[in-house]
Structure 1
Amino acid sequence: MELLKTPTVVGSIGRHLSIGDRLSLQQVSEEVASALRPSDLDYYKARLSKTHIIYDPQFMDPLLLDEFDATTAFQVRKTSDPTKTCVLIHSLLTDYIKNLMALDLTDEDSYGSVFGSKMISEQDKARILVNLRKYADMDDADNVVYLETSDKVQNFLNKFTKIKFDEMRDNFDNQDYSIVALLVETLNILDQEENMVQFFKDENKFPYDFFPDTILDSGNQLDKEALSTVIQDLVKYFNDKSRVIDECFGQQLPVMLMYMESVLEKEIIGKFLSDECHKNMEIVPIVYYELLVNFVSNLNDSLNVGKNYKVMTRTFINLYFEPLVAQYLEETITLFEENSIEEINKFEKDYEEQDKLEQENIYKSILNEYNTDENKTNKFELLTSFTKMFSKSDSNAEEIKFKTNLEVITKNLKNLKNYINFELSSEIINQAKAKVDSVLVFESIDGSVIDKKRINEHIELIFIKLIGILEIYHVKPGFEKAIDVLNRYDPTEFKSLESLESLNTVEPLVKFTELINIGDLIYQMLEIFYENELVQKKILDKNEFLNNANQAKKRFEATLDNFVANGLNIGIDKLMDEIEFLFNTLQLPNDFNPKSEDIAVTINGPTKCAKTVVKLLSNHINLLNGSTEKGVIDVFQQEIGERFFQVIVKNIKKRQISTNGAIILICDLNLYYDFIVNTLRQKNITPYFAALKQVGQLYLISKDDSKELGKLIGDLSKFNGIFRQEEIYEFVTKRTDWLKVRKDVEKAMYGLGITDCVIM
């Protein structure tokens, strides 16, 4: 006891005592109390700092802790008197500490003794236990007491918490949600928020058999009815859970959001829908739309979450669906390109197989016609059979070769228009439109994970890819094959006199114009696609000439125009070859040089050759009508007219024309002129044919008027400036009486004749 009379010793001892022991020591004597008093402030400040109660000397609270009890002891935040505050907290909680320290934790029936005989709600018990834990943490001056008290408080708190969770589980299973709500309040006081959320998740695990086996049909396409059913089931499921959560948790804990996020991430999007989308990425936009629109909009309001319930749900959907959307955008164009090229390749393969089969049938048909019994036994060696026949008979070989080539060329011409397939192109364009429609689904959704700029760029890319696919893999190869067939066509190779007389069309040109029609239809469809899907929907501005989509469209148009121009040029060549062939075969030598010298020779109008030529031309000049713009048609028709003019001139220069025959020539030239004026109707070339009519007059003038003939040659105005004097002179040399009129003609033209020249 002598030690207690020394203030420094007492102060040192007091600093290492628990609050209860220090207060007890103060009761020993006034001297001891006085010795402890100087260290009270620091001692109690140190205790309060453990519970974040601030010491503020200026703080005024005359009724310090008067309104507090064991459940609210630590609600004080400031104090100007740490000693008084600590003593009062100790007085409020010391009985509970004593009861707890005396408790046998193995005897759950005695747990109620901790709280005394007074009736206390479960929530207040929880508050007292939380305060006891704070008190134990605060009372740490005596390490032995601190460890013993803290351990006992924590163990009891754990057991109490477990009991409450067990009670909550039992009542939850019995759907006594009002009792669960009270237990939630109790456990919330005990800082069991995370454990309660986990408890709800554990008690409400997403059913493993909730979803159907798939939402795709047998063709791996989206079954919209199945998806709709899934969305309806999800709405019902979450509305049921939301109702339970509202009853159990109210607004105490954000359980609904945590539960919603967890299930969306791990079960709905992260598992089932992700698996289904990876089976067919094309369903991503529709699934996303259904989730973000039809699922979210049909969720009932949630008391637990509040007014942001649907906003937050959309946020979760975007968060976990965004990787699928990104993958879809990345793969959709690749898939579109691969599928389109595959369709084109299949078309090409099928066409080649059909072409091969048709060619084999041609060979077999001709082989059967000429084959001997010996050759027929070797039916699988087609080429060998041909070789055998060729070796047996040269005449047969030539005939077979002729017929085979004729049939093959006829087949190739017939199939010319099939090199570009409108139905295939239309299907690919429709697929591109479907891609655009799918991407635009994202634009129709409020709060979509992708913005307008990204959507526009993606649609633009679809259009560019569409044009590239059609141009590179279908249109360009198709026209190249067609032009190759045109180039190899020889109109003179397989014609007979009978076929010439009934000739109506030049098949390559007709078939090529049909191909042009198909190409133009494809371009028109692309133009409609461009206007409807890109311009009207404000994906791009058509006036931005440097825009990639605009540039791609112009390149396609230029490619088409080049092929059309090249093909038509070749086609016109073949048409003119055909006309030349007609002139060389149907134009008889005596057409313009009748044998009869009778001036009254009967005139039956234009020659059969002229009529056939005009008929042939008439059947070709309007081939492009309706398939391309008027400017192209005019160029095409003018080119035909000019080239026809050249062929006529060439034909005249090859003939011998008598005065009587001139009448027939003039009939032919009048027919050509009428064709140009009334059928072709291209005013630019009318002067050429008017000049040709004047050429006919050169042969009508009698040899007795040879001087007048010479004057006519010198009058270039008669020929509209179309022909030079040398050309007119050449025409005149084709007169049958040229040698008789030559002297007078040349003298009229040059002032002297050849016979007037004398060598000195």
Structure 2
Amino acid sequence: MDGLLKVPKVVINIASFLPTTDYLSFQQVNKQVHDSVLQGENDSKYWSLKLTRMGLQMVRSHDTEDSKLLNDNDNEDPIAIFEVYKSFTSQESKKIFAKFYHCYNSFAKKLYNNNLANFFPNSYSNDPLKQIKTLNFIKRYNLSNRNDLKTYSKIDTNFNILREIFINSVLKEMELNYQSNDLVTVARFIKVLLVSNEENNAIEFFKSKADLPPSLTVLPSNDELFLREQPQRGEDSKSTDIINPETLDKLLDPLRDFLNEKIKLADILFQEEFPVILQLVESFIQDVLLDILSNILSNYSGFLKSNDKDSKANYECLPQLYFTFIKKFGTELNDSVNAGSTFRKVADEFLDLYLEPFVVNYLNQTTRVFESLISSQLVNYDIQFQDKEREQNEKIYNSLKDQTDTTSTNNNDSSNSHSTTIISATTPEAEPKLKTPPQSVHSTNNISDDKLDFLSSFTKIFKFSNNENQKLKQQLQLAYNLNLISNNLQNIKSLISLDLCYKILHETSEKTDEIYRFHTMENLLPLIKLRCQEIFKILITQLNKNHVKPAFEKAIMLLQKYNPNELEQIEIKFDSLSPGNSRVEPLVQFTELINIGDIILQMISIFYKNELIPKKIIDKNKDFLNDVIQSKKNFETSIDDFVAEGLNIGINKLMDEISFVFKTLQLPDDYNPPPPSTNSPIRDIKPTKCAIRVVELLSNHCFLLTGATDKGTIDVYQQEIGERFFNEIVKHLKKSFISTEGAIWLICDLNYFYDFIANKLKQKNVVPYFVGLKSIGQLYIISGKDSKELGKLISDLGKFNGIFTQEEIYEFVQRRSDWVRVRKDVEKVMYGLGIRDCCIM
């Protein structure tokens, strides 16, 4: 044995496995071991190893204050010693370990001997926090004994038993104090658990006190929860409630209050020591709110189905639920010391995280529901329009039938007998086209049939002219059919409902705002923008396809079918029928339709600029190829095309009307009056009735577009009317006979036309044509005795403003009533020789 002790490595190896007391004794075994082997570096290594096992850090040197502290403190506080000594030098290791030894060896010895009675000193008996800290430090101190596995294991086993007893007693005390509502004491024990690294026990205790009463999650009945009728929305209203707000508050307010109570409880029990509220809020959202949300959506689907509505539109109530949840369980939650200053932000993030799948389903569903809603409104308007038209037609028929019945009762028996037989051929019972009034204003055959009925009735009047009663029947039949045509013309401006379009635009704005409110969910922002774009596209597509396009097509069809000549030739007058005599009614109505279309385009443009662009739903600089922008442009182009086509047809009809006026109101003696007699009245020098009527027609139609569309379109429209009116005058003059005496009234008419064009229409491009026309009057005012002067005038093209060629002027001059007499002299001036001067001829 003595030989082994002479070998240093053997001695050092033996010493490294010895507990503290045995190591100190082994140092004294002989002088060589004490002085040579277990001294200096080898000794410091032993003590340093114990300190590092306890978690202290070895450093090369300490400053003077640490060295002084080591020398001055002989009696250390067991609870504070680990805070005082966190590092050591090799030279100080033995002194520092000695201080830990004096603090904790007595506790270790009790544990080694399983002497657990009166384990803590009296000063700790009422302070569980000091007790648990002491236990923690004992465990840490015992790590220094790991070189002696037997001692370490025995102490550790008994320590675990003691610690378990201590933790159980803490949990028991916590429960007792909680039941007595001594939350301050409970908080002290919570801190004990946290210090002992028993966070799970602390959390489980808190959760057991945060169980939600089942009664708080019971949903009200569907009739209480859901609104059967949507509240009336004003222009500035943003109410899109589907769920009764009061009922929803009654359901969610107790849940919010419950959560706030638990936030307050957590702040008392845990303070800032350990975060539990965020975990509680997350569990509450997962286990409670999502379950309530799913049940409400399911119940709403059933509610829709029971009310004969689209049960797949149940997610339409999600925005109201989502933002109510954000308000109740985000904004209205109490501040939390335990959760920190960012509590509400984190709560909102949790809500967004778990509600995101529901929001995605809503975004995917709402465009389909919105399209169905818009489409149904447009279809319903069309149905109502048809019903209104049917009622109007029935009213016309009943009114005329009453007149027929009244007339019939006033006839004698024989006349009644005869007329009854004839009436049966024209009354609605025998005439299918009267029995069922036109069904739809959008029917393309409707107008044509009415027109044929009207003309057929008109023809029958003359067939039965020998029977006054039957003639009256046919006149009433004619009145009915004519009223149908007039009614359709009046209905043109009602083909597009501005109120309905405004309502749909308002609903589109609300839907866009409703969707865009979710833009705070950054993950869904691309999808949100896409859905907003789809809503705008649905607006344009539905308005164009189901409302605007059919309306313009119908209006253009009426313009094409309209023939004022046929109507104005009828001399029969009825009290219920007063057709305008100075307007092309379809054109007037069509311009009102243009005005409505322009307003719709402006509203859409305002919505686009004020809603989609500022919110960056569409970036006009980057998304110029976006199909939404293309849809908007296509819609605008479509209306422009309809306007152009309709105006062109309308101008044609206006020119037909003017041509008709020229043919019917321009009397032959207007420009070629008979020789005056002594008894003939003196005729005023003023425009003819025909010219006045023509200018009245022009005045009523040239300014129809003012305020209804842009100035460029108005200018093109007015210039086209001016140029084509010029051509109508030229054609009319080439068909008239004009005497020198009647030329004065021709000049009055031409000046009257010029005055309208130059001073009222004010289209500079057209004025030169009418300046040239004014000069044409001079061709007729020159006396036949001055035929050579007439020839010179014809040859001077500058007199006619360059508007007419010499051939055209020659055509005009041929309309002189004395042309046969002046022809030879005129041609001599024009050509140098007359035709009769030709020797061959």
Q: TM-score range by the shorter chain?
A: 0.7 to 0.9
1:113 aligns with 2:118: yes
1:106-185 aligned within 5 A: 112-115=117-120, 119-120=124-125, 121-185=127-191
| Aligned-partner Cα distance in 1 for 2:433–2:605 | 58
| Aligned-partner Cα distance in 1 for 2:794–2:616 | 67
Residues 73-99 of structure 1 deviation map (CA, whole Å, 9 limit, x = unaligned): 544322334455445534433433343
Cα 1:325–1:429 shift into 2, 3 Å: farther
Give the CA deviation at 1:755.
Answer: 1.1
* 408-417 or 571-580: bigger deviation: 408-417
Corresponding residue number in structure 1 for 2:407: none
Q: How many residues align?
A: 733
Corresponding residue number in structure 2 for 1:321: 352
Partner of 1:63, secondary structure, is helix
Cα 1:432–1:378 shift into 2, 3 Å: closer
Query: Is the Cα contact below 8 Å between 2:267 and 2:338 reproduced in 1?
Result: yes
Corresponding residue number in structure 2 for 1:283: 320
Corresponding residue number in structure 2 for 1:37: 38
Corresponding residue number in structure 1 for 2:51: 48
Query: Is the Cα contact below 8 Å between 1:64 and 1:85 reproduced in 2?
Result: no
Residues 318-344 of structure 1 deviation map (CA, whole Å, 9 limit, x = unaligned): 353267579869966983685256414
Query: Is the Cα contact below 8 Å between 1:282 and 1:332 reproduced in 2?
Result: no
Corresponding residue number in structure 2 for 1:571: 650
1:370 aligns with 2:426: yes
Corresponding residue number in structure 2 for 1:429: 505
Query: Is the Cα contact below 8 Å between 1:653 and 1:730 reproduced in 2?
Result: yes
Give the CA deviation at 1:575.
Answer: 1.0
Cα 1:357–1:535 shift into 2, 3 Å: closer
Residues 410-437 of structure 1 deviation map (CA, whole Å, 9 limit, x = unaligned): 4543332233321122123323443565
1:479 aligns with 2:555: no
1:601-620 aligned within 5 A: 603=683, 606-620=687-701
Q: Aligned AA for 1:92?
A: C
Give the CA deviation at 1:710.
Answer: 1.9
Query: Is the Cα contact below 8 Å between 1:439 and 1:455 reproduced in 2?
Result: no
Query: Is the Cα contact below 8 Å between 2:367 and 2:535 reproduced in 1?
Result: no
Query: Is the Cα contact below 8 Å between 2:740 and 2:783 reproduced in 1?
Result: yes
Cα 1:46–1:661 shift into 2, 3 Å: same
Corresponding residue number in structure 1 for 2:377: 346
Partner of 1:115, secondary structure, is coil
Structure 2 gaps of 5+ residues are 231-240, 298-313, 402-422, 440-454, 461-473, 573-577
TM-score (norm 1): 0.78
| Aligned-partner Cα distance in 2 for 1:247–1:206 | 19
Query: Is the Cα contact below 8 Å between 2:508 and 2:536 reproduced in 1?
Result: no
Give the CA deviation at 1:10.
Answer: 6.3
Give the CA deviation at 1:700.
Answer: 3.9
| Aligned-partner Cα distance in 2 for 1:595–1:502 | 33
Q: Aligned AA for 1:707?
A: K
1:142-291 aligned within 5 A: 142-210=148-216, 213=219, 217-218=227-228, 219=230, 221=242, 223-224=244-245, 236-237=257-258, 239-260=260-281, 262-263=283-284, 267-268=288-289, 272=293, 278-283=315-320, 286-287=323-324, 290=327
Residues 692-725 of structure 1 deviation map (CA, whole Å, 9 limit, x = unaligned): 3433343344444333322222233332332222
Partner of 1:125, secondary structure, is helix
1:721 aligns with 2:802: yes
Q: Aligned AA for 2:808?
A: E
Query: Is the Cα contact below 8 Å between 1:269 and 1:321 reproduced in 2?
Result: no
Corresponding residue number in structure 2 for 1:417: 493
Query: Is the Cα contact below 8 Å between 1:713 and 1:728 reproduced in 2?
Result: yes
1:579-658 aligned within 5 A: 579-589=658-668, 591-593=670-672, 603=683, 606-658=687-739
Corresponding residue number in structure 2 for 1:68: 76
Cα 1:372–1:70 shift into 2, 3 Å: closer
* 563-572 or 347-356: bigger deviation: 347-356
| Aligned-partner Cα distance in 2 for 1:647–1:558 | 31
Corresponding residue number in structure 2 for 1:496: 569
Residues 169-221 of structure 1 deviation map (CA, whole Å, 9 limit, x = unaligned): 22123210121122123222212234323432331234554468487644453
Query: Is the Cα contact below 8 Å between 1:285 and 1:442 reproduced in 2?
Result: no
Give the CA deviation at 1:160.
Answer: 1.8
| Aligned-partner Cα distance in 2 for 1:757–1:291 | 111
Structure 1 gaps of 5+ residues are 105-110, 384-393
Cα 1:85–1:294 shift into 2, 3 Å: closer
| Aligned-partner Cα distance in 1 for 2:542–2:666 | 47
| Aligned-partner Cα distance in 2 for 1:627–1:19 | 106
Corresponding residue number in structure 1 for 2:306: none
| Aligned-partner Cα distance in 1 for 2:287–2:20 | 51
Give the CA deviation at 1:127.
Answer: 1.4
Query: Is the Cα contact below 8 Å between 1:459 and 1:539 reproduced in 2?
Result: no
Give the CA deviation at 1:727.
Answer: 0.9
Partner of 1:129, secondary structure, is helix
| Aligned-partner Cα distance in 2 for 1:531–1:16 | 85
Corresponding residue number in structure 2 for 1:389: none
Corresponding residue number in structure 2 for 1:513: 591
Partner of 1:55, secondary structure, is strand
